Amino acid sequence: MTKRIGILTSGGDCAGLNAVIRAVALRAHHGHGWTTVGISHGTLGLLERPVAARELDPARLDAALARQGGTFLGSTNKGDPFAYPMPDGSLRDRSGEMAEAVRLLRLDGLIGVGGDGSLEILRRLFQPTGVPFIGVPKTIDNDVANTERAVGYSTAVAIATEALDRLQPTGASHDRIMVLEVMGRDAGHIAIAAGIAGGADVVLIPEIGWRLAHVTEHVAKLRDAGRRTALVVVAEAAGKSDDPPDPKDDAPSQHGMGEWLAKRLAATTGAEVRATVLGHVQRGAEPTAEDRLLASALGVRAVDLLAEGGRDRMVAWWNRKVIDVPLDKVVGRSRTVDRAGSLVATARALGICLGDS
Ligand code: F6P
């Protein structure tokens, strides 16, 4: 009997989502003779009647799709099904309507592509339907637990690195300190990786407690040694440091880290400083080859896992291969930068100041 599986993308978009959708639909069709139904705008499509979803034609999912950024299905990071914001300002539990949509679509399995928050919501939402659910990790933040890589991260790092490559010559031409703020809601993975790859002098991440005084001292030393420019990478969440910054530093906990740091460094070093906030530029690009590969491998495995009777699991990348793990070991956890890990050690060995000494 032909099975029907549904796929939706949920949470913030990133590069590589289309490659996941393509891999799922192709594997379902060619490997198992199944039909794939694409659900529009994440869980929001499940609120519409008729349900906003369509069968995906494998013949139209050519390689061009794997190159495209964004998600052609659309996504949402709003509208918690269990506390859905209504026009009158109240919050309503609309999970029942969404579960009913799954029944209306006559699905035998569901694949959700999301970060830890989305996977937690989707799992809870679909459990009462009895339809097996498999998660695929995606987020430029790369902070999903129990996977070394999430789709979208490689592209974000490549973009942030390229930004540093571009900031260096302009900074050097004007003897300026160039501050680059990169994304990462709670984790510094993009900052540390791009900082190393792009030759930063300073990298500030939330996982490592830092002091403005250490940063100033490091930059001043560079300037004393004759280098008039410096590259500083700051994660947007650096102010949420586990080891809180000196209260007199007054760092913002999320928005505005780049500008805040630039102002402080201008005051403490006397140098000209410019801040660049990279923002959503890190999300909406053509995926790197690595992200296309990861997306394809995880998408294929998610379908095969459903075929094997798997449910309530997430496909993951671990130790150079695709594995799958129970969602129990994913939701409610996160994977932040390991303070004792190789990247932090590499940064220190290269003389990059992490603000803690
Ligand atoms: O989680 C992905 C992410 O891009 C974070 O890095 C960032 O903090 C957040 O989403 C931005 O969300 P929004 O698109 O709602 O502004």
Domains and CATH numbers, the chain: 4-152+287-318 (3.40.50.450), 155-283+339-349 (3.40.50.460)
3-state secondary structure 8-64: EECCCCCCCHHHHHHHHHHHHHHHHCCEEEEECCHHHHHHCCCCCEEECCHHHCCHH
Q: Which residue is closest in CA terms to ligand 1's atom 8?
A: 185
Please tell me the distance from the alpha carbon of residue 325 to that of residue 305, in angstroms, as a whole number: 11
- The pLDDT assigned to 255 comes to 82
- The pLDDT assigned to 240 comes to 83
Please tell me the distance from the alpha carbon of residue 144 to that of residue 153, in angstroms, as a whole number: 11
Please tell me the distance from the alpha carbon of residue 158 to that of residue 209, in angstroms, as a whole number: 26
Q: Which atom of ligand 1 is nearest to the CA of 282?
A: 4
The H-assigned helical ranges of the chain are 17-26, 32, 63-67, 95-104, 116-126, 153-174, 189-197, 212-224, 257-269, 289-307, 342-349
Please tell me the distance from the alpha carbon of residue 30 to that of residue 36, in angstroms, as a whole number: 11
- The pLDDT assigned to 80 comes to 92
Q: Can you give the pLDDT of all 357 residues of the chain as single tens digits?
A: 679 999 999 999 999 999 999 999 999 999 999 999 999 999 999 999 999 999 999 999 999 999 999 999 999 998 899 999 999 999 999 999 999 999 999 999 999 999 999 999 999 999 999 999 999 999 999 999 999 999 999 999 999 999 999 999 999 999 999 999 999 999 999 999 999 999 999 999 999 999 999 999 999 999 999 999 999 999 999 998 766 556 566 778 778 999 999 999 999 999 999 999 999 999 999 999 999 999 999 999 999 999 999 999 999 999 999 999 999 999 999 999 999 999 999 999 999 999 999
Q: Which residue is closest in CA terms to ligand 1's atom 14?
A: 12
Amino acid at 308: E
Please tell me the distance from the alpha carbon of residue 47 to that of residue 28, in angstroms, as a whole number: 25
Q: Show the tokens assigned to 164.
A: 């540093």
**Residues carrying an active site annotation:** 141
Is the peptide bond preceding residue 50 cis, with omega within 30 degrees of 0?
yes
Q: Show the tokens assigned to 245.
A: 């910054």
Strand partners, 316: 323
- The pLDDT assigned to 1 comes to 66
Mutate which of 138, 151, 185, 189 for ligand 1 pocket (most atoms within 8 A of beta carbon): 185
Judged by DSSP in three states, 300 sits in helix
Give every CB contact of residue 271 below 8 A, 6+ residues apart in sequence. Answer: 175, 176, 177, 219, 223, 228, 230, 265
Amino acid at 335: R
Mutate which of 183, 253, 280, 336 for ligand 1 pocket (most atoms within 8 A of beta carbon): 183
158 Cα–ligand 1 center, Å? 17
181 Cα–ligand 1 center, Å? 13
- The pLDDT assigned to 241 comes to 75
**Residue ranges lining ligand 1, Cβ < 6 Å:** 12, 77, 115, 139-141, 183-185, 236, 283
77 Cα–ligand 1 center, Å? 9
State the pTM of this model: 0.96
How far lies 231's CA from each of 158, 162, 295, in Å? Answer: 16, 13, 32
Give every CB contact of residue 221 below 8 A, 6+ residues apart in sequence. Answer: none
86 Cα–ligand 1 center, Å? 23
- The pLDDT assigned to 291 comes to 98
Please tell me the distance from the alpha carbon of residue 235 to that of residue 258, in angstroms, as a whole number: 8
Q: Which atom of ligand 1 is nearest to the CA of 184?
A: 6
- The pLDDT assigned to 163 comes to 98
- The pLDDT assigned to 234 comes to 98
